Chains A and B, each alone.
Chain A
Amino acid sequence: MEQYLTQIAPEQRSLETKNLNVYYGGTIHKLHDVSLQIPQNAITALIGASGSSKSTFLRSLNRMNDKVAKVTGQIIYAGIDINHKDINVYQLRKQIGMVFQRPNPFAKSIYDNITYALKANGVKDSAVLDQAVEDSLRAAALWDEVKDSLHKSALALSGGQQQRLCIARALAMKPDILLLDEPASALDPVSTAKLEETLKQLRDQYTMVMVTHNMQQASRISDYTAFFHMGNIVEYDRTEKIFTTPRVTLTEQYINGSFG
């Protein structure tokens, strides 16, 4: 299969997979030898048709596929292979946070949603918690909208606000990397625009990997784009190159909408 993968300079790599394979139920081979270098402080978009395994790939990165699928190969983060049974996945997920397709705040107050993980991690000082709530809500561009209703149920927020709350909740743990699994797919265009604005502002401090079905979205906000096809990466390059001068025919066809 024709393939083009750009290389990221070693000192700029935040995360790297080497020959990552994912199997479901022992026999279904979902991901084939995916090797990808993800740059730090940038947004990397994963695009591809439904079933191309981009979400499977994303969920392997913070070990959410544990007990769901068999993942082989290496995932290098901070110089170590995190796809290893000795890795403390709880610690890992604090450093590699995740935001899901559908907004999934807990049935708790806005405040408690954000402090949940901190408290589970042993933080008790209320001044620290208050500060974390404000900081992460500001970072997720939600503070001004909810600062007067922090103790109201998170479920009363709109879908877009809920999704930004989920980002704030992930940011409260001060992760290095944020994995986003189609974060805007359940949102209306206005909420999507706000969410994208938020993600752009977060780019300076976080490495983000985002699965998206929306190619305009990928071209609008991502720095790098990887095109997945049937469990393989076909092409990986800077986003403007993928969308203007793709090197692989399959990529060009997908971008132009002639298949998929």
Chain B
Amino acid sequence: MSDKKHTHTHQLQQASRETRHEWYGKTITLASVVGIIILVVAIIYFIGQRGLAAFTTDHVKVTDFLFSADWNPLDGKQYVGAAAMIVTSFLVMILATLLAVPFALALGIFMTEFTKKRLTKYLQIMIELLAGIPSVVYGFLGVTIIVPAIRTIFGGAGFGILAGILVLFVMVLPTITSLTIDALKGVPAQYRQASLALGATWWQTTSKVILRAATPGILTAIIFGMARAFGEALAVQMVIGNAVLMPHNLISPAATLTSQLTSQLGNTVNGTLANNALWSLALFLLLMSLAFNLVVRIIGKRKG
């Protein structure tokens, strides 16, 4: 009896397999987290350092970079004006998103409010498929179908902002749609009942109650779509024409921040002004994605 009691105390005072597992688990988790934090900080530091080199080492003026449209870094520091690309990037992003939002809303409403289960499932699969197609394939489709179509209809080369917008439209649509669906699904079913019981029609209920209640989520969906449009490089580069010009119309060739990066990164030598200028573009993109993140956070906070 006393012997058994003794063994018990003994076991209680000893580390067991569970103790070790607990320790391993916590250590591995913590190490992974620390590793990722270091990685993110390193990336930001690296882009920041290289991105600022054009301004610190090569003495490019920040105002020139932001507001001048003269882009020819090989010719010297007064030709590092990214304004044309910044404007084009924003233009492409905004127009592609504007085009996609009505379709995304319609699809979202259709899929959450209307359809039979099976049709919803097929639509869901289609949207996921659209989201999963690699961007180079979209670019390829754009070059093959959209660019010649624009050439035929509007004349010119066909490469340009319009082609970029149309390609991006297809690419941001699934992002915005699936997040919109999540937002609409999050609206309590009792809102619908309450509205119908007051004699409101289906459409009044949807437009005034359901969409209104889902607005923060839908805004988040739109921001994510905009971020995708802003950040997409390859597909845009394939159809936009890659001429760094301030856009005057939608069908002349242009270049976005990202398309310029992908098309030029092989053509510059490390450490030169031309290379540093590209890093400055990268830094601008990083800051923009930070801004998108911030907006999403703010919207999320207002919701809660």
Of the candidates A97, A102, A108, the one whose C-beta lies within 8 Å of that of B197 is A97
Contact A117 B199 (CB under 8 A): yes
How many whole Å from A104's CB to the nearest CB in chain B? 4
Of the candidates B190, B199, B212, B213, the one whose C-beta lies within 8 Å of that of A94 is B199
10 sampled A-B residue pairs with Cβ under 8 A = A64-B196, A100-B194, A104-B188, A104-B190, A104-B193, A106-B195, A107-B212, A116-B200, A120-B204, A166-B194
- Interface residues in A103-128 (C-beta closer than 8 Å to B): 104-108, 116-117, 120-121
List the 6 closest A-B pairs by CB distance, nearest first: A104-B190, A94-B199, A117-B198, A93-B199, A98-B197, A104-B194
Interface centre among B194, B197, B209, B213 (most CB of A within 10 A): B197
Give the B-binding residues of A (Cβ under 8 A).
62, 64, 89-94, 97-98, 100, 102, 104-108, 116-117, 120-121, 166, 169-170, 173
Of the candidates A102, A107, A108, A116, the one whose C-beta lies within 8 Å of that of B198 is A116
Contact A121 B199 (CB under 8 A): yes
B45 at the interface (CB under 8 A from A): no
Q: Which residue of B lies closest to A105 (CB)?
A: B194
Query: What chain B residues lie within 8 Å of A89 (beta carbons)?
Result: 199
B249 at the interface (CB under 8 A from A): no
Q: Which residue of A lies closest to B193 (CB)?
A: A100
Contact A64 B193 (CB under 8 A): yes
B24 at the interface (CB under 8 A from A): no
- Interface residues in B197-255 (C-beta closer than 8 Å to A): 197-201, 204, 208-209, 212-213
A92 to B212, CA, bound (A): 25
B23 at the interface (CB under 8 A from A): no
Q: Which residue of A lies closest to B202 (CB)?
A: A90
Query: What chain B residues lie within 8 Å of A105 (beta carbons)?
Result: 194
Contact B200 A62 (CB under 8 A): no
A108 to B200, CA, bound (A): 16
Query: What chain A residues lie within 8 Å of B188 (beta carbons)?
Result: 104
A105 to B188, CA, bound (A): 11
Query: What chain A residues lie within 8 Å of B201 (beta carbons)?
Result: 90, 120
A104 to B191, CA, bound (A): 6
Contact A170 B212 (CB under 8 A): no
A85 to B293, CA, bound (A): 51
Q: How large is the interface on B (under 10, 10 to 19, 20 to 34, 35 or more residues)?
A: 10 to 19
Give the tally of cross-chain contacts (CB within 8 A): 62
Query: What chain A residues lie within 8 Å of B191 (beta carbons)?
Result: 104, 106-107
Give the A-binding residues of B (Cβ under 8 A).
188, 190-191, 193-201, 204, 208-209, 212-213
A149 to B213, CA, bound (A): 20
A43 to B212, CA, bound (A): 35
Contact B198 A170 (CB under 8 A): yes
How many whole Å from B70's CB to the nearest CB in chain A? 50
How many whole Å from B301's CB to the nearest CB in chain A? 15
Contact B199 A173 (CB under 8 A): yes
Contact B196 A108 (CB under 8 A): no
How many whole Å from A134's CB to the nearest CB in chain B? 19
Query: What chain B residues lie within 8 Å of A117 (beta carbons)?
Result: 198-200
Contact B197 A64 (CB under 8 A): yes
Of the candidates A91, A93, A120, the one whose C-beta lies within 8 Å of that of B208 is A120
Query: What chain A residues lie within 8 Å of B190 (beta carbons)?
Result: 100, 102, 104
Q: Which residue of B lies closest to A62 (CB)?
A: B197
Q: Which residue of A lies closest to B204 (CB)?
A: A120
Of the candidates B193, B198, B212, the one whose C-beta lies within 8 Å of that of A173 is B198
Of the candidates A64, A97, A102, A106, the one whose C-beta lies within 8 Å of that of B213 is A106
Q: Which residue of A lies closest to B188 (CB)?
A: A104
Contact B198 A97 (CB under 8 A): yes
Query: What chain B residues lie within 8 Å of A98 (beta carbons)?
Result: 197
Query: What chain A residues lie within 8 Å of B208 (beta carbons)?
Result: 116, 120
How many whole Å from B214's CB to the nearest CB in chain A? 9
Q: Which residue of B lies closest to A93 (CB)?
A: B199
A116 to B213, CA, bound (A): 14
Contact A91 B199 (CB under 8 A): yes
Are A90 and B200 CB-contacts (below 8 A) given A104-B190, A104-B193? yes
Interface centre among A91, A102, A106 (most CB of B within 10 A): A106
Interface centre among A90, A97, A166 (most CB of B within 10 A): A90
Contact A106 B209 (CB under 8 A): yes
Contact A116 B199 (CB under 8 A): no
Are A93 and B197 CB-contacts (below 8 A) given A104-B191, A106-B209, A116-B209? yes
Query: What chain B residues lie within 8 Å of A116 (beta carbons)?
Result: 195, 198, 200, 208-209
A163 to B191, CA, bound (A): 13
How many whole Å from A162's CB to the nearest CB in chain B? 11
A108 to B195, CA, bound (A): 13
Q: Which residue of B lies closest to A99 (CB)?
A: B197
Beyond the given A92-B199, A100-B190, A173-B198, please list 10 additional residue pairs across the A-B interface where CB-CB is below 8 A: A64-B196, A90-B199, A93-B196, A93-B197, A100-B197, A106-B212, A106-B213, A107-B212, A107-B213, A170-B197
